Amino acid sequence: MTKEKIKKAVALSYNLKRDAAPRVIAAGQGLTAEAICRIAQEEQIPLYKNEGLAERLVRQELNTPIP
């Protein structure tokens, strides 16, 4: 039996003049992750695949700096 991976996505924001560190501004799994990726593509925002990092950041509280 194969265990299917659930798609996860995280959107980050970082303003060099304002922010001490990047912040998670959206995160989700499944359909929410697909929506985050679709919007990023529509807005021509680069997508990066890193499953381990996404797994950690999807649990990060929104709008708090990434430690």
Spell out the domain ranges in the chain: 8-57
- DSSP codes, 37-53: HHHHHHTT------HHH
> Which CATH class for the 8-57 domain?
alpha beta
Print pLDDT tens along the chain (67 aa): 566 788 999 999 999 999 999 999 999 999 999 999 999 999 999 999 999 999 999 999 999 899 8
- For residue 36, what are its two tokens? 């985050």
- What is the model's pTM? 0.83
pLDDT at 3: 66
Q: What is the pLDDT of residue 18?
A: 93
pLDDT of res. 1: 56
CA dist., res. 51 & res. 57, Å (int): 10
pLDDT of residue 6: 83
